[in-house]
Chain A
């Protein structure tokens, strides 16, 4: 069991106790996790960092085909998510949540992802002056790497990106795997294991502050009865654990043993023909996995193509988008079979990304274990640009921070509950997120490990 997983289990135990009735149960000292110097964790170096990815596609999924039939754990994989079956126990499906307009007119194919990823629907004709979820996460976990984040798209245009620092600053997507290869692994590549380690002064100060609070233990303890003393002791145990985590951060991180420089990639023609899109994204997935394994970045954003999903099959002019609007519902099937075909291809491409992360082995686990990927779209029913029931999926647990294997349904709730929850588990300082009716402080607690 990795150190990260152990820490996570420890959290689970505590949480279980706190929420249960056995409040007076004396908690075991955290010393069981530490050796006599409190350095058991440090002996193997700091745990590998947590990574976050967003994976966006346009035109949603097929209502009725993508939502699992049952809620909670052990849900049955839905037909449209079948390509992700291998990751069922490592992923969560979120259904029923919606984007609120609050009287603002919607912009088809834009409003949905603005709601889900910015937590905000801009007024007509204005730019959304809010950073996207990945930027908020990257502000917390992505500031120490060579790249704060990497954006890619399979659709061939740098504008195909849903990552933005503010209303005017779109983070443009890389469209060429060759160009990304050069950016990551060209002459400027920094071998994480060769780099000199400089402890973060901010962490040093934080640790010294916590230590000085720790020093007050004796003075505070002596005034208490034994039950309260036990409780305060528990606080100080938690404090020592926190100090210890910071101490670990001040040590040279564990070698990134899984870091290897990938072989050069060949140029692949960009475009909106779906085979080309999928092929490009597969190349990107591999490069992104290497980039995370080598700590070049901790945050990435993938746009399958444009938000309108103008991808098409070779030899056909009708795009995914056009089909969602124009193709008749097959009366027997109850959906649009030609449009639906694209959804399966897109989910298979998402599975490619997950597989690329899972294939990087790190100790007992994989890179996917310490990554949290949020896959989301902009509509619940592309035919009518519905803003209800926006499909959202997470894959990976972010190093045990998220419980997995769940179908979470929150019908009629704002879609921002997912974004809030992910920020909170990734230590972004946020207690509520979103604007107007989408402002929420309701964490999806069932997903929090």
Chain B
């Protein structure tokens, strides 16, 4: 029940008739030339998706946040354990007796509670934030704020990316894209073989270098990527759009010097629950650089509910804390403090935070459900 958008429909015959040059079919030869068939489309599948980190030492002049063995000791001492008791509890780290204690390090009326479910029940450990001004993303609010960044690739100023400000000095986020920050890398890598792939299609391209009127369609597939021999998503593979997905987003945009830039949009992207069940973006932008080899890379940024982002770490509880060195209650406070949009009408506290995500994409052939039928494969020899 799928077709190539813009192509002749597949007939339910033995053979597909009038097969079209599909999206992506010309990838790899001639993309660099800015000639495009009028109204041409390009399909992509997201290969890597992770927090866009831009670590340079000047971003974290006070150093990076401590790893878990250190902050666990700090927390145990705060709870009143003597030095020797702390050493005993931590003796078999990462296994051992400290786990129930640090897990239940929250206090409500003096009683231990699970700190990951109730992060406000421990004092703010005051994670060291990013204080420098290098950060990926977009100027979402149109203002030049004192906390804003300069994007190291696009050069855009006034960039709003408070999530990076909150978390960028955590050791496992101290990487400069396109290097992959380790914990986000592992999160994505563990899910991408099984999770439905994310699709991006750039439509109505008349000129690959400069075109002031294109549209961008984001969708979720029913298929997962397959890996090539280098472990990347297999290029030019067919992926079917999920007809029941909430992920579809259509937005207008333009191409400037080979870089696709979207207008502002709101979007919902369904993802693997291990990562985050739903990425909700408001006032978002996409910037995607179309490369000569047919791949694309860029940034997706916007405002997201910060509590959902918190839960993406908190669900991993102590395992994430000890193996990724992420102080989970610390992240809670940091996100809350740096949230910069969507104030709660009652409390005035911001419910959303500006973010930026790195996107690597491979060329893909995208087929849509509503336009045709599947090929009949019953007559195979």
Contacts and interface: CB of A to CB of B under 8 A. Distances in A.
A321 B228 CA distance: 28
Interface stretch (B90-98, B116-124, B236-244): B90-98
A401 interface: no
A310 B94 contact: yes
A158 B74 CA distance: 34
B67 interface: yes
Contacts of A103: 193-194, 224
A372 B174 CA distance: 43
A2 B349 CA distance: 83
Contacts of A412: 228-230
A97 to B, nearest CB: 10
Contact of B190 (A98, A106, A272): A106
B186 A384 contact: yes
Nearest to B325: A326
A384 B185 contact: yes
Interface string A303-346: 00000001000000111011001101100000000000000000
B194 A411 contact: no
B68 to A, nearest CB: 8
A385 B189 contact: yes
A411 B228 CA distance: 10
A321 B186 contact: no
Contact of B182 (A96, A101, A383, A411): A383
Given A103-B224, A106-B190, A317 B90 contact: yes
A388 interface: yes
B362 interface: no
Given A103-B224, A310-B95, A322 B186 contact: no
A318 B69 contact: yes
A101 B231 contact: no
Interface in B66-107: 67-69, 90, 92-95
Interface string B323-355: 111000000000000000000000000000000
A235 to B, nearest CB: 37
B180 to A, nearest CB: 8
Given A103-B193, A325-B172, A326-B323, A388 B94 contact: no
A322 to B, nearest CB: 6
A325 B324 contact: yes
A317 B174 CA distance: 22
Contacts of A321: 94, 323
Interface residues of B, number: 33
B295 interface: no
Contacts of A96: 229
Contact of B231 (A104, A318, A329, A388): A388
A218 B323 CA distance: 72
B171 interface: yes
Contact of A326 (B92, B172, B224): B172
Interface in B176-203: 179-180, 182-183, 185-186, 189-191, 193-194
Interface in B140-181: 171-172, 174-175, 179-180
A322 B190 contact: no
Interface in B238-256: none
B268 interface: no
Interface string A146-185: 0000000000000000000000000000000000000000
Contacts of B231: 98, 386, 388
A326 B185 contact: no
A384 B193 contact: no
Best-buried of A103, A272, A383 by chain B (most CB within 10 Å):
A383
Given A105-B190, A384-B185, A386-B189, A325 B95 contact: no
Nearest to B87: A317
Given A103-B194, A318-B67, A385-B190, A325 B325 contact: yes
Best-buried of A321, A322, A385 by chain B (most CB within 10 Å):
A322
Interface of A: 96, 98, 101, 103-106, 108, 272, 310, 317-319, 321-322, 325-326, 328-329, 383-386, 388, 411-412
Interface of B: 67-69, 90, 92-95, 171-172, 174-175, 179-180, 182-183, 185-186, 189-191, 193-194, 224, 227-231, 322-325
